[in-house]
Chains A and B, each alone.
Chain A
Amino acid sequence: MTVIGIVGTPNVGKSVMFNNLTGRYATVSNYPGTTVEVSRGRTRLAGGDVEVVDTPGMYSLLPITDEERVARKMLLDREPQVVIHMVDAKNLERLLPQFLQLRELGMEVVLVLNLMDEARKLGVELDVPALRKRLGVSVVESIATSGVGVPELKEALALRLRTPGPAAAPLGYDPALEQAIHQVSVRLPMSFAGSERGVALLLLQDDAEVAERVKAATGAGWDEIRAVIAQAQQDGEPPQYRIALARQAEAQAIAQACVRVPRSRTRTFADRFAAAAIHPLTGAPMLAVILYFGLYQFVGVFGAGKVVDFLENDLFGTYVTPAFDAFLLRLLPAADGWQYWTRELFGGEFGMITLGVTYAMAIVLPIVCLFFLFFSILEDSGYFPRLALLVDALFKRIGLNGRAVIPLVLGLGCDTMATMVTRIQETKKERIITTLLLALAVPCSAQYGVITALLVRQPNGVLGMSYAWLAWASILAVMFVGVGMLASKLVKGEEASFYMELPPMRLPKLSNVVVKTAARMKWYFLEVLPLFLFASLLIWVGRLTHLFDALIAGLVPVVGALGLPSGTAPAFLYGFFRRDFGAAGLYSMADTGALSGNQLLVSCVTLTLFLPCVAQFLIMKKERGLKMALAMSGGIVVTAFAVGATVNAVLVATGISL
């Protein structure tokens, strides 16, 4: 099938355009690095079915992070007939080098000047006919978010699919480089994606991945190519630098002829707000306000407290569960034997419907939904890159850099999802440390919400936060920083320097926020609901075979060492399946007043430090390998109990009662 690829730097509206072309949804965001995977969709063009492929943003065809590698791999593997190169119209000059690169690779390109509304507002004038003539490709002006330019783009694509455009006039480099390009390209095998000149240029820029591909395709001839590359690398400045300069000079020449940029710039309210967000004096209080109202009040107190209380006690507790149990009892009335056990499988205290579905729908769903809503609003506003630069210096202390805020904040929603997002990090060391911190010290929203709702009910406190909650949050913060610092010393490997583009801040768009929240919810539910049902099923099997009683009996001395009543042992056992599952168990216990403030704190701390859930372990295994996943999980379980015991010992020794 005919393939059309969409490429461009992050944040230029690729995903929105993909949506316009195919009617399918790809995650749209105001944060570089949220499209970690390629989205595919279909459309009809020039009388045939066409596959459209959206890619993660990339700054250059020489990839730095894994997501950029994904985008480049699409170009080389799928060999799209036409590439839609999306650029931010106001930044055309800076983005032209990437266009030149695509053309050098022999790609058929349609250039889309997106965000024309912003460019006009800033007074940037573009001479589109002149650009078309100079670049030799179709150029389309668009405002992807409101669909302007989409018909024109479809027309341009159809034209290119029918008749190929003229080949790119090659950009000239310095004589030594030209000679090297010639020497490499004559030795390249015929059957390779991309033009020989383009591939030769990538090779000369020390591209390890393309080198692997060419090596596999050429066999014996590779040694000669390698010698040319090595020679070029030693001659004066590195080729990638010389190439970048030549491309930039060309881009400047094109821009001088076709683009008029105003001298002065007006400062909008959004600019001022963005400036305040990164000023250390105003940025830190802003962050505190966002966290307090967003996470604590909105997700914790409102979501996990009020909404869950209504759903669990009023809706499910009063109507759904009793009605369902009564229905089961009418169907299978016997008090023991198979009828009792079948009833217990679906209903009763631990049934798949009464426990599994209730937990999922009444406790986890509202909390996770509110968290993803909060996250999507922040994401769409462009706040996260600002947060990244604020914390970069602090994160360097734990072996990470500012870019780690995305997986770590997303982890407050779902650690499993966040562990997948560690792919946006550059080095192995960073990915290992982030994975460990996510699994140990970052509570996911379901768990965080339930625990907040539990602890916030304790009577003593300040600013609406109980001392028990503050103690819990402080212990987690200490563990986060402490384990992070330790890991940064112990884990071998490189750390990466921090660089990030700051997209302009904007008012979040309701449609973006809703669609993003919905997409994350869908992912979460497909992942989570089966696990809840599975856990209920396992509990049922365990009770049927009396295996659970044995396990719980084994756990009683362990929870005893933490100063907890034996009734918490089942909660810990369920905590192995999902941390929030266990936390929800504590919630039911606390409802009956079976736990003191101190006991609540100890059990919440221990449960939070646990591995989040079975799914988390599976993803850790997938991303980091079985050996590391096992080592991390073992360490985490031991740490969780050790910290719980320590907290208990300190509380006992000091005589504090929360």
Chain B
Amino acid sequence: MNCSYCNADFDAEAAKHACSACLISTGCKSVKCPRCGYDSPEEPQLFARLKAWWGRGAEAAAEALPRECTLSQLRPGESALITALRPGSRKDLQKLLALGVLPGSTVTLERNFPSFVFRVGFSQYATDRMLSDAVVVRRSVVAVPAPAAGEPAPLQPAAL
């Protein structure tokens, strides 16, 4: 986001460390600029969603997005290579494996509302946010060879 006092661009999530200097550390609905310390009001969720709806916010967000992100964070129409799975439960892992959503495959996100719709190969799937969050991808144009058998790509178990 953009500081309304000094006009510095910063990431609202990353700026949280600046809050540690403040007495009211949570629930204040404002974001402290890490450069000048000015409290800007938090962007309301509805507003952020509307911006994403029209594509402007999404594009800005995509630019700020690191190459490594989750499937749910991709822009609609964007392709990426699946690098890891981070399922919240064993059942969720099993679902992703059953659909063939595995590291080494290329995935294309087609829609992110009202559910996440994506394509792997010739198949189209729909999942909710929870499952799409579990798929870690690398946004890239060059195909990366699949990991060889015997040295599996990292699975990042959250609650397994």
| A positions within 8 Å CB-CB of B | 59-60, 62, 64, 88, 90-91, 93-95, 97, 122, 124, 172-175, 206, 237-238, 240-242, 244-246, 248-250, 252, 261, 275, 278-280, 385, 388-393, 396, 401-402, 426, 496-502, 504
CB within 8 Å for A64 and B91 given contacts A174-B152, A390-B114: yes
Q: Are A501 and B123 in contact (CB under 8 A)?
A: yes
Q: Are A97 and B100 in contact (CB under 8 A)?
A: yes
Q: How many whole Å from A394's CB to the nearest CB in chain B?
A: 8
Q: How far is the CA of A385 from the CA of B115 in the complex (A)?
A: 12
Q: Are B114 and A392 in contact (CB under 8 A)?
A: yes
Most buried by A among B99, B122, B154: B122
B37 close to A (CB within 8 Å): no
| B positions within 8 Å CB-CB of A | 85, 90-100, 102-105, 110-111, 113-115, 117, 120-128, 130-131, 146-155, 157, 160
Most buried by A among B113, B126, B146: B126
Q: Are B95 and A122 in contact (CB under 8 A)?
A: no
Q: How far is the CA of A185 from the CA of B147 in the complex (A)?
A: 28
Q: How far is the CA of A95 from the CA of B99 in the complex (A)?
A: 9
The residue that A245 contacts in the complex, of B98, B102, B113, B127, with Cβ under 8 A, is: B102
Residue of A nearest to B125 (CB): A501
CB within 8 Å for A497 and B98 given contacts A241-B93, A245-B149, A389-B114: no
Q: How far is the CA of A496 from the CA of B87 in the complex (A)?
A: 13
Residue of A nearest to B154 (CB): A237
12 additional A-B residue pairs with CB within 8 Å, beyond A278-B111, A497-B95: A59-B99, A97-B100, A241-B93, A248-B102, A249-B104, A279-B111, A393-B115, A497-B128, A499-B126, A499-B131, A500-B126, A500-B127
Q: How far is the CA of A244 from the CA of B151 in the complex (A)?
A: 12
Across-interface contacts of A88 in B (CB, < 8 A): 122
Q: Are B125 and A62 in contact (CB under 8 A)?
A: no
A-B residue pairs, 8 tightest by C-beta: A59-B98, A389-B126, A389-B115, A498-B128, A502-B124, A60-B98, A246-B149, A94-B100
Q: Are B104 and A252 in contact (CB under 8 A)?
A: yes
Q: How far is the CA of A502 from the CA of B127 in the complex (A)?
A: 10
Across-interface contacts of A60 in B (CB, < 8 A): 94, 97-98
Across-interface contacts of A389 in B (CB, < 8 A): 114-115, 117, 126
CB within 8 Å for A238 and B126 given contacts A60-B98, A392-B114: no
Across-interface contacts of B105 in A (CB, < 8 A): 248
Q: How far is the CA of A426 from the CA of B91 in the complex (A)?
A: 10
Ordered by A's residue number, 8 sampled pairs between the chains whose C-beta atoms are within 8 Å are A174-B152, A245-B103, A280-B114, A389-B114, A402-B128, A426-B91, A497-B131, A498-B128
Q: Are B117 and A278 in contact (CB under 8 A)?
A: yes
Q: Are A237 and B155 in contact (CB under 8 A)?
A: yes
Q: Are A238 and B115 in contact (CB under 8 A)?
A: no
The residue that A240 contacts in the complex, of B93, B115, B146, B147, with Cβ under 8 A, is: B93
Across-interface contacts of B152 in A (CB, < 8 A): 174, 237, 241-242, 245-246
